[in-house]
A and B are shown apart, each in its own frame.
Chain A
Amino acid sequence: MNKILFGRYIPLDSFVHRMDPRSKLVLSFLYVIVIFFANSWWIYLLMTIVAFLSILASKINFKLFVEGIMPLLWIIAFTMVIQIFFGTGGHLYWQWGIFSITSLGILNAAYIFVRFTLIILISTLLTLSTSPIQISDALESLLMPLRKIHFPVYEVALMLSIALRFVPTLMDETETIMNAQRARGVDFGTGNIVQRLKKIIPILIPLFVSAFNRAEDLATAMEARGYQGGTGRTKYRQLKWGNRDTIASLVYLLMTASVFALRLL
């Protein structure tokens, strides 16, 4: 479980860390959309520079980002292989039945590699520099307009923040239960697929039971502290748009504009 980077937050004091989570969320989203419009190496170069500048501004060790990419390497490689062998157009190098290697196929595979890597870098930057609670605050704030169409924004945000809060707790609990069952002679990771599936039961049932108990305790504790639903509440964590957010937004908007300009060239 130690290798999982998802949802890990590295508390540091940096330009990126002190940004408003809303702007981080929106800008990461913008970045991911813009990258799909990239169609030349110049655009990729520009976007790579922006990504690295953002990472530099976060003061987070680059090694962590590489670790973030590692687990997804297989998916990237798989997609690249498919592109290479099934790509059409351009100069034909090799052909066998439906398989063919063409210059355009190779180019597309290279593009895909860069796209994947940059998307992972930017989303890892978001999760490493923003605590889960900030992300859920940001989502709540960004989803507010949806209240007009009776979307339960408060409830969704509450569920999200509770869920995020309990991810590490449940992971710890899974670990403890697994250890307890190991101590009782369960050998995880051996046997055929049916045997392995059966071994999950002694983890899953205690985990569910404990989650039910936890939910009941939490609901009681929340009611006892006067929780009556989302409407009419005030907020302890205020989100504030600062100069940093304006600067970052300008950089990203400039990047977006340049990308579209380069496309037209």
Chain B
Amino acid sequence: MAITFKEVTYTYSPDTPFEFEALKNISTKIEDNSVTAIIGHTGSGKSTLLQHLNALLKPTGGTVLIGDTAITSETSNKNLKPLRKKVGIVFQFPEKQLFAETVEKDIAFGPENFGNTTEEASQVAKRMAGLVGLPAEVLSRSPFELSGGQMRRVAIAGVLAMQPEVLVLDEPTAGLDPRGRREIMQLFTKLQNTQKFTIVLVTHQMEDVANYADHVIVMEAGKIVKEGSPRTVFADVEWLHEKQLDVPASTEFAFEMQKRGFHFTQFPLTESELADDIADLFKKRGQTHE
């Protein structure tokens, strides 16, 4: 399911002294079955943009097209439920949303809200727990007894259990150790490979952007300042530095090498690309020396 933004603006607390324009004239499209990464500074409007994806916030100006449904400032709050089923959002630190007595009930909460019977919901819960790599014996335990990483898996399973078509992830790996981060990200790639999914990812981990994203949106002060494939966005390292945004470590390394006289036709995005490029460089040197 594609999501299109047409000249969307959003203002918090309009007509008060606390008025704040968080989105300014945003136009973009999130393609079907793609992985879109949104990067930008804290306070650049990323999270506000996310909440437009399933109509938690309605634009103060412009239109958001979620599939075929148009959301404008006039859209009523009724009948938004079917949309929310299609677009699942995993918020930052999603373990904060857990509340049920058992893990199983918590995962089943979403499907039950969308009309599944308790029986069906617990079936789905069991399947999802397996999918996110939770051992079966955890299902009957209280979510508050689990470790931080496991709690996050429960929360993610709770969103996946709604079987959304679009999965929105707001810094899914924040606060996890390197291993947890890798596992969570691998889980999402696995999901994308096995079933059709549109993923929207907000992150500060540029490695994740380079590794997984098809499309990158760079936001600054409520505006989209750049978008394109990771390669086009990360090509201009100096521009990103100016915006105080990181680039993947491999790109940074290549950038530093270039400063010291090495030449890259295209900056590598991942470690293996960097390794290949360096190997090529050495090969060329070998040839000129001979």
Residue B13 is within 8 A (CB to CB) of chain A in the complex: yes
Docked-complex contact B13 and A2, CB < 8 angstroms = yes
In the complex, how many residues of chain A place their beta carbon closer than 8 angstroms to a beta carbon of chain B?
25
Contact stretch, chosen from A115-123, A159-167, A174-182: A174-182
Name the 5 nearest CB pairs between A and B, nearest first: A185-B113, A205-B99, A180-B97, A184-B110, A183-B89
Cα–Cα distance between A67 and B35 once the two chains are bound (Å): 45
- State which residues 65-104 of B face A: CB under 8 Å: 77, 81, 84-85, 87-89, 91-92, 94, 96-99
Write out the residue numbers on chain B whose beta carbons fall within 8 Å of the beta carbon of A189: 77
Cα–Cα distance between A201 and B113 once the two chains are bound (Å): 14
What's the minimum C-beta distance from A217 to chain B, rounded to whole angstroms?
Answer: 13
What's the minimum C-beta distance from A253 to chain B, rounded to whole angstroms?
Answer: 32
Write out the residue numbers on chain B whose beta carbons fall within 8 Å of the beta carbon of A64: 17
Docked-complex contact A176 and B110, CB < 8 angstroms = no
Write out the residue numbers on chain B whose beta carbons fall within 8 Å of the beta carbon of A210: 96
With A202-B99, A205-B99 in contact, is A183–B114 under 8 Å at CB? no
Cα–Cα distance between A182 and B110 once the two chains are bound (Å): 9
Cα–Cα distance between A8 and B16 once the two chains are bound (Å): 12
Write out the residue numbers on chain A whose beta carbons fall within 8 Å of the beta carbon of B98: 206, 209
What's the minimum C-beta distance from B208 to chain A, rounded to whole angstroms?
Answer: 22
Docked-complex contact B17 and A61, CB < 8 angstroms = yes
Question: Interface 1/0s, chain A 30-61, versus B by CB < 8 A?
Answer: 00000000000000000000000000000001
Residue A187 is within 8 A (CB to CB) of chain B in the complex: yes
Residue B159 is within 8 A (CB to CB) of chain A in the complex: yes
B residues with CB within 8 A of A: 12-13, 16-18, 51, 54, 56, 77, 81, 84-85, 87-89, 91-92, 94, 96-99, 109-110, 113-114, 144, 158-159, 162
What's the minimum C-beta distance from A50 to chain B, rounded to whole angstroms?
Answer: 25
Cα–Cα distance between A62 and B23 once the two chains are bound (Å): 29
Docked-complex contact B158 and A184, CB < 8 angstroms = yes
Write out the residue numbers on chain A whose beta carbons fall within 8 Å of the beta carbon of B97: 177, 180-181, 184, 202, 206
Write out the residue numbers on chain A whose beta carbons fall within 8 Å of the beta carbon of B162: 184-185
Docked-complex contact B81 and A187, CB < 8 angstroms = yes
B57 to A, closest residue via Cβ: A179
What's the minimum C-beta distance from A206 to chain B, rounded to whole angstroms?
Answer: 5
10 contacts between A and B (CB under 8 A): A177-B97, A180-B96, A180-B97, A182-B56, A182-B84, A184-B97, A187-B81, A189-B77, A206-B96, A206-B97
Write out the residue numbers on chain A whose beta carbons fall within 8 Å of the beta carbon of B56: 179, 182-183
Residue A186 is within 8 A (CB to CB) of chain B in the complex: yes
Docked-complex contact A183 and B13, CB < 8 angstroms = no
Cα–Cα distance between A67 and B88 once the two chains are bound (Å): 37
Docked-complex contact B85 and A185, CB < 8 angstroms = yes
Write out the residue numbers on chain B whose beta carbons fall within 8 Å of the beta carbon of A183: 54, 56, 84, 87-89, 91, 159
Docked-complex contact A180 and B89, CB < 8 angstroms = yes
Tell me the interface secondary structure of chain A in the complex. Answer: helix
Docked-complex contact B94 and A180, CB < 8 angstroms = yes
Cα–Cα distance between A8 and B13 once the two chains are bound (Å): 13
Write out the residue numbers on chain A whose beta carbons fall within 8 Å of the beta carbon of B110: 184-185
Docked-complex contact B109 and A184, CB < 8 angstroms = yes
What's the minimum C-beta distance from B95 to chain A, rounded to whole angstroms?
Answer: 9
Docked-complex contact A2 and B16, CB < 8 angstroms = yes
Cα–Cα distance between A8 and B17 once the two chains are bound (Å): 11
Most B CB contacts (10 A, CB to CB) among A184, A186, A205 go to A184
Most A CB contacts (10 A, CB to CB) among B81, B92, B99 go to B99
Write out the residue numbers on chain B whose beta carbons fall within 8 Å of the beta carbon of A184: 84, 97, 109-110, 113, 158-159, 162
Write out the residue numbers on chain B whose beta carbons fall within 8 Å of the beta carbon of A202: 97, 99, 109
B14 to A, closest residue via Cβ: A2
Write out the residue numbers on chain A whose beta carbons fall within 8 Å of the beta carbon of B99: 201-202, 205-206, 209
Docked-complex contact A176 and B96, CB < 8 angstroms = yes
Docked-complex contact B81 and A180, CB < 8 angstroms = no
What's the minimum C-beta distance from B118 to chain A, rounded to whole angstroms?
Answer: 15
Write out the residue numbers on chain B whose beta carbons fall within 8 Å of the beta carbon of A181: 97
What's the minimum C-beta distance from B1 to chain A, rounded to whole angstroms?
Answer: 16
Write out the residue numbers on chain A whose beta carbons fall within 8 Å of the beta carbon of B94: 180
Write out the residue numbers on chain B whose beta carbons fall within 8 Å of the beta carbon of A182: 56, 84
Docked-complex contact B84 and A177, CB < 8 angstroms = no
A180 to B, closest residue via Cβ: B97
With A185-B110, A185-B162, A202-B99 in contact, is A209–B144 under 8 Å at CB? yes
A202 to B, closest residue via Cβ: B99
A203 to B, closest residue via Cβ: B99
Residue A10 is within 8 A (CB to CB) of chain B in the complex: yes
A176 to B, closest residue via Cβ: B91
Write out the residue numbers on chain B whose beta carbons fall within 8 Å of the beta carbon of A185: 81, 84-85, 110, 113-114, 162
B111 to A, closest residue via Cβ: A185
Write out the residue numbers on chain B whose beta carbons fall within 8 Å of the beta carbon of A209: 98-99, 144
